[in-house]
Amino acid sequence: MGETLFTNVSVIDGTGAKPFDATVRVQGNRIMAVTPGGAVDGAGAEIVDGGGTTLMPGLTDAHAHLSFLDAATLGDINALSAERHILETAKNARKMLDHGFTSMFSGSSARDNLEVALRDAINAGDIPGPRLKAATRQMTVTGGFGDIGREDAYSLVLDGPEAFRKACRAAARAGVDTFKIVPSAMGSGSDPLAEDTAMSDDEVAAVCAVARQRNRMVAAHARSADAVKMCVRNGVQVIYHATLADEEAKDMLEARRDSVFVAPAMGLPYGRLTEGEKYGVSTDDFTRARAEKEIETVSATMADLRKRGIRVLPGGDYGFKWNPHGRNARDLHMFVELFGFTPLEAIQAATQAGGELMGEPGCLGVIAEGAFADLLLVDGDPTKDIAILQDPDRFLAIMKDGAFHKAPPENRAGQQVAAE
């Protein structure tokens, strides 16, 4: 990789700072200089004249399911053969890069070790795709969420701390980055949002103990207040949903705001309500009531967590028929419209905070000297219209690790400038 100079661009640096005009120099896979205003010597570099467009960091999805193939039901997730499954997952990886997501933190793999193979192939340059933190299948308990009564299902059913401990050790041996657990399960009764806490404290503690020993992360599907508190108490770093977090749970999250991330994963209920008919998915009264109440409840909870300084990240369980891959940037719109984020705050959540989630604070998700060159050249200003990030045609160029996945149009890219 040579040297690239982005000129005539408005820079969103990912930190929440207002956009500023600058020239950005990339050498190899790193940003070498960010020079506000003024002319910069471009000798020896490929010049990309942005023409006043926006240069920003690549996006991160904090709750990705690349191996969920836009399934209509949970039972359909693993309908394909294992061989075909990984080929289709590779297509999703490329699609997400095409849509500006240069990093993905997995919320679970549909099959054991599928994402490990995908991650390694991407890192080797064999196939295009985002940076990927590979996860286990989601680990649940008998009768818990995801237990659909099949051994080949997308969930691994375990009972007791020793079973969870053994599964995590095997997953660490296989090379996963993240252990995914399911402490909560849908409850019963008239309340459409009723949630049980299905895993025991000892089971969650066993998973977290192995994670600490093997330098892995733990992510949890935790909707009930007790599940959220159990996760925080035992050191789970990534909490999905947090739907029914009460004041005690919020206080606990706030106390650990420097080491915990929350991703509400609102894509499923939002997609069901707003676009279900578009994808031919019917919605019964109970499902509609649950989705409506979840959107209302989670919106209030995330607005509160934002005020408390807790890192709330986009990532919406994409990979279902009514919530397909490619719609992921819709989460940023929800952050603004439902949670009270400003567009800059939503972008910061998807960039700087995403880099922190990926284990690269200050090096990923920001435009700064020494950071990785994962960059988007955007036609328009997403701080004025966050919805433009949902349109892949707005990405005039996509750079990952210093190399163009999508090269800039010829009329915006200058020729190589001969060195003096």
pLDDT at 412 over 60: no
Helix, coil or strand: residue 259: coil
Q: What is the pLDDT of residues 173-210, one digit of tens each?
A: 999 999 999 999 988 777 888 899 999 999 999 999 99
Parallel, antiparallel or unpaired: strands 403-406 and 395-400: antiparallel
| pLDDT tier at 323, thresholds 50, 70, 90 | very high
**Nearest alpha carbon to residue 265 among 344, 202, 319:** 319
Q: Cβ contacts of residue 174 below 8 Å, gap of 6+?
A: 112, 113, 116
Domain map of the chain by residue range?
A: 3-58+362-412, 59-328
Cα angle: 189, vertex 192, 198; to 5 degrees: 70
pLDDT at 50 over 80: yes
Which value, to the nearest 10 degrees, does the dihedral of the CA atoms of residues 330, 336, 340, 343 take? Answer: 130
Q: What is the pLDDT of residues 155-166, one digit of tens each?
A: 999 999 999 999
The predicted pLDDT at position 24 comes to 97
pLDDT at 401 over 70: yes
Cα angle: 325, vertex 386, 105; to 5 degrees: 40
- The sign one gets for the Cα dihedral 318, 321, 327, 331 is negative
| pLDDT tier at 1, thresholds 50, 70, 90 | low
Supply the angle between the helices 201-214 and 161-174 in degrees, to the nearest 10. 30
Is 0.85 surpassed by the pTM of this model? Answer: yes
- Angstrom distance (rounded) from CA 22 to CA 39: 9
At the fourth CATH level, which superfamily is domain 3-58+362-412?
A: Urease, subunit C, domain 1 (2.30.40.10)
Which class in CATH covers the domain with range 59-328? alpha beta
CB 341 within 8 A of CB 307: no
> How much of the chain, in percent, has pLDDT values that exceed 70?
97
* Token pair of 377 as six digits: 């050249």
Distance of CA 124 to the CA centre of its chain: 21
Buried b (16+ CB within 10 A) or exposed e, 123-150: eeeeebbbbbbbbbbbbbbeebbbbeee
